[in-house]
Amino acid sequence: MRQLSWKRIWSIVRKEFIHIRRDPRTIALILLMPIMQMFLFGYAVSTNVEHIKTIIWDQARDQRSRELIQALVQSNYFDVVAYVESHDDIRGWVDRGKARVGFVIPADFSRRIDRGETAPVQVLLDGSDPTTASTVLSAAGAIVQAKSAQLTAVTLERRGMASGKLGLPRIDLRPWVWYNPEMKSVNFNIPGLIGVILQNITMMLTAFAVVRERERGTLEQLIVTPIKPFELMWGKVIPYIVIGFADLLLAIIVGILWFGVPVHGNLLLLLALSFIFLVGALGIGLLISTISRTQLQAMQLTMFLVMPNILLSGFMFPQDAMLGFIQKISALIPLTYFIEILRAIILKGVGIGYLLFQVFYLLVFGLAIMAISALKFRKNLE
């Protein structure tokens, strides 16, 4: 048996460090990956939902109703974003994703309390996000219970011994859950999962498209043919559009037939908006492919982007539970808007009129990233 030589091992170690030093992209990923993971898991991974966007329909508009609204706001669970005048207004805000919950305080709210009766307060919930909906029910229930106890104490103090013959006032919270009445987590997860699958598969496959040709030495052969750079780029992209749509249909079919997730909206509209999202995902993949020298680098860059997409897009964790600056970063990620579109069409059944901002962002992002990728692709060929 040959004797172990630490000198030879050290030579190999030095050689490996020299290889790593010559690859600045790998060094950047090695340094950035742990920092990014620390920030992502530290700030984005949370189910403690606060500052939920809230709509109020205050029909009473008196001192007691204002005190109840103030109690909701002071709890830090509810941020009042608007006061409305009807149930349709509340539904419009919720359908557009501008609010998660609406409270309806009836016109006779104070009169019922003064008479020692039960005063109902209706809470209308967006059940498409069960985590946020559960937090709303729990927080609103606790606030209303505390408010009822306070009213009871004040009434007993005022009435004295005569209180036993009269009723005591209390507030009755009456929840009404929209879109996902049973608050099934599978109805929340499956639409988001469809978006994640569509992006990851198309982005990863496209990321290997050019760099694979370069590694095999066949890219130079393509360059000397009469084919133009623009034709070569679309020739590389179109197959992955077909694959992306096949995966999308497969995921939708499995979601409906196996997991029982109902599709309330227009399926053709969903496919049309998926194409807009797909352009952006393919553009990112093509850009990765043009700046990577090897398939390993392409894989590393793809994985570097996959994690923040999954954690920040609202696929796993409610965006209402994220810190403010994390929500701003989340607003830059195309997958965030596509998941909103998927949940809005599949669970809420809304039309294009409620999704104009999401569609506009995906369209602008897709065209911009595809234009940048095309310029980089053409420059590489030249």
- Looking from the CA of 72 toward its CB, the CA atoms found within 13 Å total 30
Question: Nearest-5° angle of CA 282, CA 382, CA 294?
Answer: 55
Predicted confidence (pLDDT) at residue 331 exceeds the cutoff of 60: yes
Beta strand pairing status for 78-83 and 118-126? unpaired
Total residue count of the chain as it appears in this document: 382
- Looking from the CA of 42 toward its CB, the CA atoms found within 13 Å total 6
pLDDT top residue among 112 and 21: 112
Residue 73 CA to residue 90 CA, distance in Å, equals 18
CB-based contact 252:263 (threshold 8 Å): yes
Residue 338 CA to residue 313 CA, distance in Å, equals 9
What does pLDDT average to over the chain?
A: 86
pLDDT band at 163 (very low <50, low <70, confident <90, very high): low
Which residue type sits at 93?
W
pLDDT at position 37, please? Answer: 78
pLDDT at position 1, please? Answer: 53
Q: Which of 126-130, 166-170, 246-250 has the highest mean pLDDT?
A: 246-250
pLDDT at position 9, please? Answer: 83
8-27: average pLDDT: 81
pLDDT digits (tens, 9 = 90+) for 210-225: 788 777 777 767 767 7
| Integer angstrom CA distances of residue 306 from 124, 232, 254, 284 | 35, 27, 23, 11
Predicted confidence (pLDDT) at residue 300 exceeds the cutoff of 60: yes
Element (H, E) at 5: none
Q: How many CB atoms lie within 10 A of CB 39?
A: 13
Residue 263 CA to residue 164 CA, distance in Å, equals 54
Starting at the earlier edge strand, list the strands of the sheet with 78-83.
78-83, 52-58, 101-105, 118-126, 170-178
pLDDT at position 97, please? Answer: 85
Predicted confidence (pLDDT) at residue 269 exceeds the cutoff of 90: yes
Residue 225: partners with Cβ closer than 8 Å, 6 or more residues away: none
pLDDT at position 17, please? Answer: 82
Residue 36: partners with Cβ closer than 8 Å, 6 or more residues away: 304, 307, 308
Residue 97 CA to residue 350 CA, distance in Å, equals 11
Calculate what percentage of the chain has a pLDDT beyond 90: 39
Look-up: residue for tokens 């352009």?
A: 279
Predicted confidence (pLDDT) at residue 40 exceeds the cutoff of 70: yes
Predicted confidence (pLDDT) at residue 105 exceeds the cutoff of 70: yes
Closest CA to 355 of 229, 270, 290: 270
Beta strand pairing status for 52-58 and 101-105? parallel
Beta strand pairing status for 101-105 and 78-83? unpaired
pLDDT top residue among 277 and 214: 277
3-state helix, strand, coil in the chain (%, to 5): 70, 10, 20
Helix, strand or coil, per DSSP, at residue 352: helix
